[in-house]
Amino acid sequence: MNIAKAWITKALKANWFIHFFVPEVKLYLVEKGLPFKVLLLLDCAGGHATNLQCDGVQVEFLPPNTTTLIQLMDQWDIRAFKALYTRATMVGFIAVDDNDDEEGFT
């Protein structure tokens, strides 16, 4: 059996949308004295339900492979991880080289 890996399922996303997103946004907009008119942007992850509908909510899906281009946090996380990984790798190489020098392997 081949089961795709996902952080969230379509059923969980639909439940979140109906029972959490819509009520919380309605409450927020009422408190601000604003009409219930919402744009929800989602990436194209496989776990997102595509049938999310509610009066006053427009759901739009981003094109594939654009999330990291427009979400700056993703860009910074990826860049920081690569920098830290490269640094840790180089420190490891230097430590091995220093140990080899001390043991007379050069």
Per-residue confidence (pLDDT) for residue 1, from 0 to 100? 43
What's the whole-model pTM score? Answer: 0.55
80 against 97, higher pLDDT:
80
Per-residue confidence (pLDDT) for residue 30, from 0 to 100? 95
- CA–CA dist 11, 23 (Å, integer): 18
CB 66 within 8 A of CB 45: no
- CA–CA dist 62, 40 (Å, integer): 10
12-29 residues labelled b (16+ CB within 10 A) or e (exposed): ebbeebeeebbeebeeee
Neighbours of 49 (CB within 10 A): 19
Per-residue confidence (pLDDT) for residue 93, from 0 to 100? 80
Lookup: tokens for 15: 């439940």
Domain residue ranges of the chain, discontinuous segments joined by +: 1-65, 71-106
- CA–CA dist 55, 100 (Å, integer): 69
**pLDDT exceeds 90 at position 22:** yes
CB 60 within 8 A of CB 41: yes
